[in-house]
Amino acid sequence: MAKSLYIDKSKMNVSIKIYPAKNGDCFLVSFWEITTEKKHLLIDCGYVDTFQKYLKDDLIKIGESGGTLEKLILTHIDADHIQGAIRFLKDNNAEKFIAIKEVWHNTYRHLCVQKEGEIDIKQERILQQIIRRGNPQSESKQGEKGISAEQGTTVGALLLQGKYSWNSDFNNQAVCIEQRSEIELKPGTNIYLLSPDKQKLGKLKDLWTDELKRYGANFNSGNAQLYDDAFEMLLSWKIEKAKIAPKPISATKETLEELLKTPFDEDCTATNGSSIAFILQVQDKKILFLADAHPGLIVQSLNEYQNEGTIIFDLIKVSHHGSFGNISRELLHKIDSEKYLISTNGQKHGHPDKETIVHIITRKAGFHRKLYFNYITANSKYFDRKDWKEKYNYSIHYLDQQPYTLTL
């Protein structure tokens, strides 16, 4: 007697659409059962042209079909993560092409206790000066225009204008692990927050205070939105300034043995440390989204999530575009996957670092590792060697600089 084919209609499917975001991040995560409509999470938005060329059409189609975004997660204040969000929110406020149930985004109002009251005219002028300076203007090496957000516009201002639910999962406070570490999206689908914590957010607050002092400002009362806008603008410029640091000499190393000996120096920037990083668990599938987070805190949080042994994920989005300062031996001892995703075109930083890739591929495992890159870079090509791929049991997959969907 022939066996009947049983289809488990309750089994959740998961896909991740990876957008070409230059040296930034933009991911649309969708999950669904055979009998239910898709649910969607949008994680960062890259630059303006990421949204204009690719993302907007997808979001319009979702909205037209009656779909919504369960969460818009903006991991931290950095142009390569949020400039596309500024254009998205501006267009969506005007056109209302998709509903957003909840936005995660940390800014000044979540870091500081705001005292309402009169603000000194001189101090207010300083804030207005910072805001008028606008967002950093970015341009690709090929001279492509239009990747910068409108000047004088911020995510916070647009969220208030659109009356979105903003950090309500965290009682309208900061997205941080002390506030709440687990959020249920639906039965069997959860987000486990790994970063930031209050200490990392405190360092971001200190950075803001130090930068204000350079402008001759030192105050803590007045219009909250004015503070939000100045905070976002000022830190975006601070980040851009940090990006011009020279590339470490390790990029010239030629052998795997030399690369493996490179000392690890953990990223200590306050902005990256404030990154929202998390595990998305959809039934038996686990995906690790590391944003640009610091590895020390991630290891600490993962040990609380699962104390013993290595955690095997269905996909790991590598932190900070493959920067060696954001992946440590301790972290790699704690996590592994058959699929690693690195999002960057290699501009400005030369990411991904060779040291990061060599530490991923040379670890022993009982499975074949697949490394996914959404751009071909010099350092990804360096590891595209048949002898190494056979020896260390890995393969390299390029996503052709187009939106590409991975189904898990």
pLDDT at 242: 47
pLDDT of 142 higher than 50: no
**Amino acid sitting at position 11:** K
pLDDT value of residue 124: 80
In this predicted structure, what is the pLDDT of residue 247? 46
Residue 298 CA to residue 293 CA, distance in Å, equals 7
Q: What pLDDT shows up at residue 401?
A: 65
Strands 394-398 and 339-342, by their bridges, are unpaired
Torsion of CA 240, 91, 405, 43, to 10 degrees: 50
- Of residues 7 and 331, more confidently modeled: 331
Q: Rounded mean pLDDT of 352-374? A: 95
Give the HSE-up count for residue 75: Cα atoms under 13 Å, Cβ half-sphere: 32
Q: In whole angstroms, what is the distance from residue 89 CA to residue 86 CA?
A: 5
Interior/surface letters 295-327, b for 16+ CB within 10 angstroms, e for the rest: bbbbbebbeebeeeeebebbbbbbbbbbbbbbb
Residues whose CB is less than 8 angstroms from the CB of residue 293 and which lie 6 or more positions away in sequence, other chains included: 194, 195, 196, 272, 273, 275, 277, 319, 320, 326
Q: Is the per-residue pLDDT at 109 higher than 90? A: no
CA neighbours within 13 Å on the CB side: how many for 291?
30
Assigned token pair, 383: 């590891």
Could you give the CA distance from residue 374 to residue 324 in angstroms, rounded to a whole number?
Answer: 18
pTM for the full predicted model = 0.89
pLDDT, residue 251, reads 46
Binning pLDDT at 50, 70 and 90, where does residue 183 land? Answer: very high
Q: What is the mean pLDDT of the chain?
A: 86
pLDDT, tens only, 15-49: 999 999 999 999 999 999 877 789 999 999 999 99
Q: Where are the alpha helices (DSSP H) in 134-223?
A: 155-162, 198-214
Please report how many Cα atoms fall inside a 13 Å half-sphere around the Cα of residue 92, on the Cβ side.
29
